[in-house]
Amino acid sequence: MRSSVHELSAFCRFAAVATRFSRTVRLGKICRPSGTRPMPDWLHPEKTKIVYCRDAMRTGDYELHSFDFLGFCFRPRLSRNKHGQYFVNFSPAIAPNRKKAIFSQIRQWCLHRRSDLSVKELANKLNPVVRGWIEYYGAFFQSELFFLVRHLDKLIYRWVIRKYKKQGSNFKKADNWVKRIKSAKPNYFVHWSLLRA
């Protein structure tokens, strides 16, 4: 029985975080440490859970339907196949707590108050960090990162209003100024070219 359990279960570990994917709940319970199989030191007894990977093919019910792993939230999501048909798929996307962490980091930069920076300096400050976020979290469900485009653009508008009094004395003028820069240099800010909301 031991060999068949390992054949039907995939195991993934990163530092102190691990996941094991089993085809059935029964196999998941067998793989879970118990009194006869002690838990390794690096596994937390209260944080070790069985999660049901619910999708269009697996419609059963279980207590937990989602889990976070390496900054991604795995849960049932509405997807579209190559024929344009929608279906429910169990897949990863950026986790809500990582979105909050990104908002928090951007807030600490106080970009809208950095009128001392030129447009190029502002782009040089933003681009390396934003590129890292997009390349990592955008590997799955890139549409979940569109919040980043909208948020950064709002901050750029506020920066324009503060930096250029004539061109950006109000939000509409700032929007026109940003659109001119976008059309002339679409790769100036990395989120303009890598994410299209």
- Average pLDDT for consecutive 10-residue bins of the chain (197 residues)? 44 58 58 53 66 72 78 86 85 92 92 85 91 92 88 88 71 83 86 73
pTM, to two decimals: 0.72
Q: What is the pLDDT of residue 128?
A: 94
Q: Which residues contact 137 (CB under 8 A, 6 or more apart)?
A: 71, 72, 93, 94, 98, 144, 145
DSSP code at position 47: T
CA 14 to each of CA 11, 97, 185: distance values in angstroms, whole numbers, following the listed order: 10, 19, 40
DSSP H stretches of helix in the chain: 2-7, 25-31, 96-109, 119-137, 146-163, 171-184, 190-194
Residue 3, SS3 per DSSP = helix
d(CA 173, CA 168): 5
The contacts found for 149-155 with CB under 8 angstroms, 24 or more apart, are: 149/191, 149/192, 149/195, 149/196, 149/197, 150/197, 151/103, 151/106, 152/106, 152/126, 152/189, 152/191, 153/178, 155/106, 155/111, 155/112
Q: What is the pLDDT of residue 104?
A: 93
Return the residue matching tokens 């976070």: 68
Q: What is the pLDDT of residue 83?
A: 87
